């Protein structure tokens, strides 16, 4: 397993729920559970064009007639469709149809019945059998397939506004999101074959700089408005970044589209996956940081998927609003000069 694969595995295994393999989830029938102003719908789609690949999903469906803007979310490696619940629930309650996908081959199924490895060595050993380019490209292919299925689904389709689609993801899911908006994939033909034009805006939680590729060219085709999140403690045991600040590389490299960045002080990698919420092991700094993540996530989606002019104006004031909790950066022509930021290696 190369170092890139190890990084992606650890980044997600640190967040992975102690659940059974993907096969067990894939056998669950579609279910609907009421949750406040949102209904939770679980199900799965099967893609005959990809050898019967099964894509489980968890949808957060706002009550009401809709149609609602659509946000598709991609979990980290070793995670599943229950990822980032505190974020996705809040987004749905704000009036968005949210669909969290589960990616076979890079989900909790790689953990087997024993759950997350207890040691770093165990994580690496698991990674050796879990990652390869075929698994990665199969994951990337789940997004366009899922968008087709959302539009056709008898429950989701009538409530989905497929003209207003966004995508978000954490860790490996952040990479999947960047690939979906145009980051090139070395070894793919063409290298931007997984770019999805239906995505109008995107959010990445804990993104990475490109591995084995020059940032300026890796992101050259990305022309999508994006919000980036990271923290000053956003690390994993196998990071190739010299420090957490290098996770700002995609924000710094992308040109030609509105970009926003939030770096929360002392926020770690697990904050954005939300596992500590489900295990009841919140850190003291988690609740206020979670509120920031939710509020800024919703503000961005309102601005770019609902054409909310007030929300768009508020995004321009991001650095001032985040002050005290971290640093905010804006790179959007309509907001004036970009917020100064220290350049990372490879970008000047």
- For the stretch 5-23, pLDDT in tens is 443 343 334 334 333 333 3
What residue ranges do the domains of the chain occupy? 3-335
Tens-digit pLDDT profile for residues 18-69 = 333 333 333 333 444 445 799 999 999 999 999 999 999 999 999 999 999 9
Q: What pTM was computed for the model?
A: 0.89
Both tokens of 62, joined, read 């706002």
**Cross-strand bridge partners of residue 329:** 261
Q: What is the pLDDT of residue 8?
A: 38
| β-strand partners of 316 | none
What is the average pLDDT across 109-119? 67
Q: How far apart, in whole angstroms, are the C-alpha atoms of residue 200 and residue 305?
A: 7
CA 71 to chain centre: 10
Q: Which residue has the tokens 């979310």?
A: 73
| CATH architecture observed for domain 3-335 | 3-Layer(aba) Sandwich (3.40)
d(CA 314, CA 154): 37
pLDDT at residue 187 greater than cutoff 50: yes
Encode pLDDT of 201-235 as tens digits: 999 999 999 988 999 999 999 999 999 999 999 99
Q: What's residue 113's pLDDT?
A: 60
In this prediction, residue 36 carries a pLDDT of 74
């Amino acid at each position: 397993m190369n170092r890139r694969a190890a990084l992606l595995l650890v980044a997600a295994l640190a967040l992975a729920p102690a659940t059974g393999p993907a096969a067990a989830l894939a056998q669950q029938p579609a279910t609907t559970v009421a949750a406040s102003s949102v209904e939770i719908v679980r199900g799965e789609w099967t893609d005959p064009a990809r050898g019967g690949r099964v894509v489980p999903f968890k949808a957060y469906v706002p009550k009401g007639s809709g149609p609602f803007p659509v946000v598709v979310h991609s979990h980290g490696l070793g995670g599943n469709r229950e990822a980032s619940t505190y974020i996705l629930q809040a987004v749905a309650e704000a009036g968005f149809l949210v669909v969290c996908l589960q990616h076979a081959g890079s989900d909790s199924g790689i953990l087997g019945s024993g759950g997350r490895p207890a040691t770093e060595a165990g994580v690496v050993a698991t990674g050796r059998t879990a990652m390869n380019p075929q698994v990665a490209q199969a994951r990337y292919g789940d997004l366009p397939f899922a968008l087709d299925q959302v539009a056709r689904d008898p429950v989701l389709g009538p409530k989905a506004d497929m003209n207003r689609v966004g995508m978000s993801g954490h860790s490996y899911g952040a990479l999947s999101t960047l690939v979906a908006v145009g980051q090139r994939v070395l070894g793919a033909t063409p290298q931007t074959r997984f770019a999805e034009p239906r995505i109008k805006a995107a959010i990445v939680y804990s993104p990475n700089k490109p591995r084995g590729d020059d940032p300026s060219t890796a992101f050259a085709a990305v022309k999508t408005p994006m919000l980036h999140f990271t923290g000053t403690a956003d690390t994993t045991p196998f990071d190739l970044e010299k420090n957490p600040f290098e996770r700002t590389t995609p924000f710094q490299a992308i040109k030609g589209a509105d970009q926003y960045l939030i770096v929360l002080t002392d926020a770690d990698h697990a904050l954005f996956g939300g596992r500590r919420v489900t295990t009841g092991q919140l850190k003291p700094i988690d609740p206020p940081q979670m509120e920031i993540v939710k509020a800024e996530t919703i503000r961005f989606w309102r601005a770019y998927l609902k054409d909310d002019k007030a929300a768009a104006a508020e995004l321009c004031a991001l650095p001032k609003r985040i002050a005290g909790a971290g640093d905010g950066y804006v790179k959007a022509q309509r907001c004036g000069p970009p917020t100064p930021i220290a350049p990372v290696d490879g970008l000047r």
